[in-house]
Amino acid sequence: MSPSVETPHTLEYRMEKPPLSNEDYMAVTPETQLGSLAGEDGQEGVVEPPARDGWDSKVEYFLAQVGFSVGLGNVWRFPYLCHQNGGGAFLLLYVLLMILVGIPLFFLELAAGQSIRQGSIGVWKHISPKLAGIGYSSCVVCFFVALYYNVIIGWSLFYLGNSFQYPLPWQECPEHGNITVKECEASGATTYFWFRKALNITDSINEMGEFNLVITCCLLAAWTIVCLGMFKGIKSSAKVMYFSSVFPYVVLLCFLIRGLMLEGAAEGIKYMFYPKLEIWGEVQVWRQAATQVFFALGLGFGSVIAYSSYNPRSNNCHRDALTVSTINFLTSVLATLVVFAVLGFRAREVAMRCVTQNLEKLSEQFSVGPLDRDLLPVFNISDPSLDLLEAYREWFNVHGAKVPGNLTDCSLENVMNKGVEGTGLAFIAFTEAMTLFPGSPFWSALFFLMLLNLGLSTMFGTMEGILTPLTDNFKVLKRHKTILTVCSCIIGFLIGMLFTQRCGNYFVMMFDDYSATLPLIIVVVFECFSVSWVYGADRFLDDIEKMLHWRPPVVYKYLWKYVCLLAMLGLLGASLLKMCFKRPTYTAWNRETASEVTLDYPDWALGVLAVLIIFATLPVPLGYIHSTLRNRARRNSIGSGLGTDMGGVYTKCSTVECDTPVAALLDEHLERNRIPKDSPSPLGEENLRLLPQREGAEDIEDSTSV
């Protein structure tokens, strides 16, 4: 709440809520200290910050928020986790954690950004200057993520460009002199194309190799698209969102309809949803579910705060939190249905090839030597009504062990159990399945165009999580935001060339697994603690009530203070224990064996991991130390100066022109921060009340009238 102006010569002080400690307010400037978020009479009492860009419509904001939260992880991470961790049981666990942890924290970030109307740095500086480091940590993590995320967009561009030919280049193994390439024959056409043609990958992270020129050009194209989309901030990126946020849903629905028409789709979906409730007793499953909730909503990046800061204060951010979270979950389920329908079809095709090969082996055994006819299959292969796979499995379970030739059980479940995630799902398994579709180039182009748009909508949000906080807190950068955007993209491309080396995929995995997870969890722990305990959950709910004109349920207070905070601390502890007790590993491609192998990170790579994590989290303690030392130095220097020159004595005066310390300090404050003297609230409530203390005075009681 701000002091009301009674007359041109009188300032009346009113307090509505207890302020934070004096130290916390000493470094706050009017740009970040907005006083109370709303006045007693709602909108009339709102102290608006300087003019700020805004969304042209609620639709633009909604598409931007959904586009950022719904990313590649919904398509290639969630289905894998669901598949590996109990199917339907994992879905129930995910929903539980989404309700208890995800939605409350998402609502917290939306409300904080919308009410304070600053990026992540400004929001946490508003809570307390000592917490400004939280915002800087969010910016660092966003930068790390943007570096490797755009490489994935570059890969999608590469595959998209190769989709406009028939047959697809990854459909068949290449031949050299009528001899099939050994590596491709041993691994498969799609796997060979990914590791050898697209990445030309080395055998380990220790083998750097030269730059992959084609992928480097694709990365340059990806950064160019991002730069053009972000050229005018949300004014330009919001227009792109109309396509990039909606198009993936069109593609997913097309794939779902096509997938459900494929043989084997029903088995794939049934396999996914079959519940295994015993997994609820495994700590690892809870950790993975909580991590997925955490990343699915984009918590801690600062992008949610940045996007909501462009909203009017009257916007119903509580409804937005519920709606976006629900859409995010339903999108994950939709993507999982699509993935398992298509992978079910692929698994059946693989199993049928297995049956055909085994029957050929059996025929060879019968032609070479005598074989008991009772051991031979009795089913008719040419019968169209016969389920050949099921008939073969029934025969194998009875006679398979008695027949020579090392026949195998062609199990659909065994194929489905070989779960794949991330790039393995998108660029190998799903790509292989699409080669079996009629009109495969069309479906391939559609799929990789979907990945491209999913990646771009998330990249726009990630970049906004960097640019908005910096331009909000540094006036020079705000005046040259376009130059900042272009320079950020150029720097991102130059550093991102690390990932276009032949070993670049290993660095992508390193950044994806370690550069963001731990720092973001730490950031969200501090966010939750800052709002619920430093600022006060009740106080925050009061501010939301004045902003929205209705009070959110009190259950949020207890969720923020206890459930969310304890859950994030538990997730932090589990992640630290995993890193400490199990040496970090990565999956490498061995050219000789044409297979993936798990290797330990070398010592120098562990050093890089440690530097990434420390660099991302270091702003939090540095911000606290910097604010504390700055406040102490300011008190000492100003107190000493006033004590020498004025003796710390204040006298009353009756005119604004009076040259007393209080009036002089007020004029100096207004001039320094370019605040009009007739402003209804030139100072935040606590700033004004503490002004003499900030400038070294000891008593204000006799000097409140000027």
**H or E segment and range at residue 587:** strand 585-590
Nearest to 105 by CA among 554, 567, 510: 567
Structure tokens at 22: 């004096």
Across the strands, what pairs with 211?
A: 501
Q: Is 316 annotated in some ligand binding site? A: no
| Contact criterion met (CB below 8 Å) for 215 and 155 | yes
Contacts of 184 (CB under 8 A, 6+ apart): 173, 174, 192, 196, 594
Q: Is 417 annotated in some ligand binding site? A: no
Please report the beta strands in 82-217, taking only residues with DSSP state E, as ranges in sequence order: 175-176, 179-180
Structure tokens at 314: 């009257």
Using H for helix, E for strand and C for coil, what is the string for 291-316? HHHHHHCCCCCCHHHHHHCCCCCCCC
Give the Cα separation of 134 and 142 in Å (integer). 12
Give the Cα separation of 354 and 351 in Å (integer). 5
**Residue 658: is it exposed, middle or buried by C-beta count within 10 angstroms (0-12/13-18/19+)?**
middle
Structure tokens at 23: 């130290």
Residue type for position 497: M
Contacts of 690 (CB under 8 A, 6+ apart): 19, 22, 25, 26
Give the Cα separation of 595 and 186 in Å (integer). 8
Contacts of 522 (CB under 8 A, 6+ apart): 137, 572, 617, 620
Contacts 24+ apart (CB under 8 A), 6-15: 8/656, 9/654, 9/655, 9/656, 9/705, 9/706, 10/705, 10/706, 11/688, 11/704, 11/705, 11/706, 12/704, 13/685, 13/688, 13/689, 13/704, 14/685, 15/685, 15/689
Contacts of 246 (CB under 8 A, 6+ apart): 63
Q: Is 70 annotated in some ligand binding site? A: yes
Give the Cα separation of 389 and 374 in Å (integer). 20
Nearest to 26 by CA among 620, 628, 535, 536: 628
Structure tokens at 686: 């606590």
**Largest separation between any pair of C-alpha atoms in the chain:** 120
Distances (CA, A) of 450 to 151, 165, 557, 560, 629: 16, 18, 39, 36, 50
Give the Cα separation of 503 and 215 in Å (integer). 12
Distances (CA, A) of 79 to 100, 335, 451: 22, 7, 15
Query: What are the respective helix, strand and coil percentages of the chain, to the nearest 5?
Result: 70, 5, 30
Give the Cα separation of 164 and 592 in Å (integer). 31
**H or E segment and range at residue 485:** helix 481-496
Give the Cα separation of 142 and 465 in Å (integer). 7
Residue type for position 275: P
Structure tokens at 393: 């499995």
Structure tokens at 31: 């740009």
Distances (CA, A) of 1 to 40, 322, 680, 704: 8, 30, 11, 17
Nearest to 706 by CA among 675, 673, 682: 682
Give the Cα separation of 110 and 253 in Å (integer). 29
Residues of the binding site for Na(+): 67, 70, 74, 328, 454
Binding residues: 67, 70, 74, 328, 454
